[in-house]
Amino acid sequence: MFRLDNKIAIITGGGSGIGKAIAQVFSRQGAGVHILDVDQAGAAGVVTDILKAGGIASFKKCDVADQLEVKKSVDDILNASAAIDILINNAGIAHIGNAENTAEPDFDRLLRVNVKGMYNCLHAVIPHMKEKGGVIINMASVAATVGIPDRFAYSMTKGAVVGMTLSVAKDYVHQHIRCNCISPGRVHTPFVDGFIAKNYPGREQEMFEKLSKTQPIGRMARPEEIACLALYLCSEEAAFVTGCDYPIDGGFTRLNN
């Protein structure tokens, strides 16, 4: 079950964190993996690990907010693979701030990466999926549906991701393109470690435990757990699933009172 043999997957932001875990899990399940990322060193390391394990992988340095870069990267992948079966729209950035103290450049930057970046990838890939179908996963967040302090711009962009997901699922259901989104709670990634180290020097362990306990289950998610949900949604076992937002949050959205 949950095999992706002979499938070609594009994973944006696959050089670290959740994207890295998805690339590794998909490769183990038989997919050819193509990573788009601005983090050349991180993505190249993921590709090297996959190749050493006997998988198929490549990396293209690409700013998803640049439509021409995205189109060129997709065209290059098509020239090498002749098909794109899966798009994992994972690349994104975070921001801390409310409506008053979020500066316009930060607001624009989040829109550019988190919203326009996803649009650019959808715009480039969907035409090549229409003939034989495909699967798209957009990475949203619990911040799209739950009020989280000081996440004004980030929450706004993730709400847009959920809206784009529903629209794509509706527009292309008859072309056999399935589109869903995943809404993680807190996930233990290098970003979290860097955020804590930057904002709470000397209190890293204390703050890690405090943030972990905001999930009723008592810990943060592991990137591999998000990757396994993505694997299911991209597999033939999920052939009846489209137009859905999947929280994976340790009970955060429903059990916090």
Nearest residue to 10 via CA among 68, 75, 54? 75
Q: Which of 154, 172, 200, 232 is catalytic?
A: 154
On whether residue 107 sits in a domain, the answer given is yes
Q: What is the mean pLDDT of residues 80-109?
A: 96
What total of structural domains would you count in the chain? 1
By the 8 A CB rule, do 21 and 227 touch? yes
**Residue 94 resides in a domain:** yes
Is the pLDDT higher at 256 or at 252? 252
Residue 62, both tokens: 């690409």
Which one-letter DSSP state was computed for residue 249? S
Domain containing residue 47:
8-185+221-248
Q: Is position 246 annotated as part of the catalytic site? A: no
65 falls within a domain: yes
CA distance 149 to 155: 10
**For the chain, what percent of residues have pLDDT higher than 90?**
95
pLDDT of residue 252: 94
Rounded Cα distance, 109 and 121, in Å: 17
> Which of these, 183, 184, 135, lies nearest to 163 by C-alpha position?
183
Q: Is residue 174 part of a domain?
A: yes
Confidence of residue 195 (pLDDT cuts 50, 70, 90): confident
Query: Is 209 contained in some domain?
Result: no
Judge whether residue 101 has pLDDT over 90: yes
Residue 19 lies in a domain: yes
pTM for this model (two decimals) = 0.95
The answer to whether residues 9 and 34 touch, using CB atoms and an 8 Å cutoff, is: yes
* Closest alpha carbon to 14 in 227, 228, 249: 227
Q: Give the CATH number for residue 102.
A: 3.40.50.720
| Inside any domain, residue 237 | yes
Q: Is the pLDDT of residue 257 over 80?
A: no
Q: Residue 173: which of 120, 125, 239, 119 has the closest Cα?
A: 239
Indicate the DSSP class of residue 222.
P
